[in-house]
Amino acid sequence: MIEVKNLIKRYGNYYAVNDVSFSVEKGQICGFLGPNGAGKTTTMNIMTGYIGLTEGEVIINGHSIQHEPNEAKRSIGYLPEHPPLYGDMTPREYIAFAAELKRIPSGIRTQEIEKVMEATKIFYVRNRLIRNLSKGYKQRVGLSQALLGFPEIIILDEPTAGLDPHQIIEMRELISSLANEHTVLLSSHILHEVQEICDQIIIIHRGEIVANGSVEELESDMRGTAIEITVKSESADDVVRILSSIEGVKQITCMEPKNGEVFAELEPMNKNDDLREAVFNACVRGNKKLLMLRPSSVSLESVFLQLTADNDPAIMKNNEKADNATSGGDEE
């Protein structure tokens, strides 16, 4: 449904997007993640035809955004992070204006407008001026125009920005329901939200894809073979002494006792080594009760932080400068 092939966006010698390739299948919700300046909004702007690409190809519902832009755009509903709203219009007037731009047939236009206002829960503010609405409701008005015509593909850039907790939950439920009839690509900085609703996660950093897969796959890849244990003991030193007898242990992290229990994490010297049996035997020899033993847990947040760690301020500044040129300083 969405295919991005070897996408490059270059400004002089700087690559804002560098050889990016991915695909999103029909009916999937895909989270597009990355730190500020990573190239997310640049990629989305290229996919929707807002800016041109330097090299590569973007296929939307079987149509090239470069060679068949009109056909490709008919399949897209796009919500930018800062929707281009007209403050002197009411939501109903704005959505009617968008429906006319999208050439929705006049015979079903009223029905379509009512449907998207109901879906985004802006019906009771439909006759207020947009400039007087909260940021959350302005975001919903922008989403309404994206849903007009119910295109096959919905692209959302920070769809929950500015929403209160109740609205975030409602928006999350709405996005989840979209997968029944649409393919959804969304960017967000709220990682637990992405973790809950997305089938696929793509992480971009410095203009390149650094991870692509389900949440479970990404967490499994980063987890390695470190293990966590809880031992019944009043002394962390005793636990460290017992665990230190195990061969092939690179690092032991041990917490102070709490309620007569000590939590510890062990990292093997060799990533392929499985320490579980050796830990069990060491606890038996040391006369310590092993209360819990499991693979070390890894969250999407920790995966994201590890993959996007950036210690080069010059590169970060260069990324920010180039992406500001693409989106007026709002690249996320």
What is the reported pLDDT for 224? 61
Residues 6+ apart with CB under 8 A from 115: none
DSSP state of 144: H
Residues 6+ apart with CB under 8 A from 139: 79, 83, 159, 160, 161, 162, 163
Q: Does 3.40.50.300 match the CATH number of domain 2-220+304-327?
A: yes
Is 250 within 8 Å of 204 (Cβ atoms)?
no
Domain boundaries, given as residue ranges, for the chain: 2-220+304-327, 225-295
Q: At what angle do helices 91-101 and 106-119 cross, to 10 degrees?
A: 130
CB-count exposure of residue 279 (10 Å: 0-12, 13-18, 19+): buried
What is the reported pLDDT for 274? 87
Residues 6+ apart with CB under 8 A from 48: 65, 73, 76, 78, 155
Q: Tell me the average confidence (pLDDT) per consecutive run of 10 residues in the chain, 332 residues long.
A: 94 94 94 92 93 95 93 92 92 96 92 92 94 90 92 92 81 85 90 88 95 85 78 95 92 93 90 88 95 83 81 43 45 46
200 beta partners: 30
What is the reported pLDDT for 252? 92
What is the reported pLDDT for 293? 94
pTM of the model: 0.75
Are β-strands 153-157 and 183-187 bridged in parallel, bridged antiparallel, or unpaired? parallel
What is the reported pLDDT for 289? 95
What is the reported pLDDT for 311? 46
- How far apart are alpha carbons 1 and 75 in whole angstroms? 10
| 259: three-class secondary structure by DSSP | coil
What is the reported pLDDT for 144? 93
Per the CATH hierarchy, to which homologous superfamily does domain 225-295 belong? ACT domain (3.30.70.260)
What is the reported pLDDT for 323? 46
- How far apart are alpha carbons 14 and 43 in whole angstroms? 15
What is the reported pLDDT for 160? 84
What is the reported pLDDT for 135? 84
